[in-house]
Structure 1
């Protein structure tokens, strides 16, 4: 959550979904940090200028009643259960499925493990942690030869010296 909206418990939300408004299509959110998540129900949500705003309720309780209740959630993250997401099209991947995968080049040289993903505008980029940090463009068919989620591995046409 990125801020407050009004005095009746509404929150401002930064969405990582593309397009951003897709987040408000989900009726149930998980809100929390790391391993501590609580279920929330979306009562009402909409786009407001360049941001999203939402009225939410914890579990089966009443909606957040005021600004103070909403303020307690600022800087928490929003997630949804995996089974709420549509299956990606062939050749498309959710970023969270790529994080943690090992990346090797065509010769089998280890390049590192995906620590994060980065959006650059031109294409997404794998942020690899290994003997050093590497940034590898995630361009399937040009740089990325194979993504094997079951094996936990990505094969890339990438020079290990770069």
Structure 2
């Protein structure tokens, strides 16, 4: 299998620490329901190289390593993962801070009108009056609800932060990459 680029992968968690003596890793998932992490048979780990001579390295310089997942299970809000080839605590600790990535095809199929937040990134947004608001750049969870960052995808400039709640979100048309919001451009 050839190594994909970082743009082809989706980050689903971060290695928080080693667990026990047998090489398990403790993963902090980015989702409250880490179904993709729990069902993955293989994951990519990305370790960003350390700074050298005061120069920060880019994400494109990060190394990607493919690991087969032997076991993954929930444990106190984290996911304990056993990787093929990681057999002791020292090897597991060396992975601390690594980003866990998978291909989009690993995610289970959605049913009905449900979708993954990652699929909304890049969608154009309009309001009920048909005015363009911008493109979805990011979606984050603030605890109470999600927040959609809308702006210019080219420059990554955020123009508005919009609550991701049913009162605002009117429709999502994934095939046409279009989201309709009950929102005004000057709010």
Shorter chain as denominator, the TM-score bin is: 0.7 to 0.9
- Report whether the alignment pairs 1:92 with 2:114: yes
Q: Distance in 1 between matches of 2:130 and 2:35?
A: 40
- 1:2-151 matches, within 5 Å, as 2-20=16-34, 23-32=37-46, 37-57=64-84, 63-130=85-152, 132-140=158-166, 142-151=167-176
Q: Does the 8 Å CA contact 2:36/2:108 hold for their aligned counterparts?
A: no
Instruction: Note the C-alpha offset of 1:20.
Output: 4.1
With normalisation by structure 2, the TM-score equals 0.69
Match in the other structure for 2:7: none
Bigger relative contact order (CA 8 A; separation at least 6):
2
C-alpha distance in 1 between matches for 2:108 and 2:41: 14
Residue aligned with 1:87, SS: coil
Question: C-alpha distance in 2, partners of 1:117/1:93?
Answer: 13
Deviations 1:59-81 (A, max 9, x none): xxxx2133332233222222333
Instruction: Number of aligned residue pairs: give it.
Output: 156
Report the Cα distance in structure 1 between the residues aligned to 2:108 and 2:35, rounded to whole angstroms. Answer: 16
**Structure 2 residue runs without a partner (length 5+):** 1-14, 48-58
C-alpha spacing 1:113/1:125, structure 2 compared with 1 (3 Å) = same
TM-score where L is the length of structure 1: 0.78
1:66-117 deviation digits (Å, cap 9, x = unpaired): 3332233222222333333222122211011011222122233232221211
Q: Where do 5+ consecutive residues of structure 1 fail to align?
A: 58-62
Does the 8 A contact of 1:46 with 1:52 survive in 2? yes
Partner of 2:183: 158
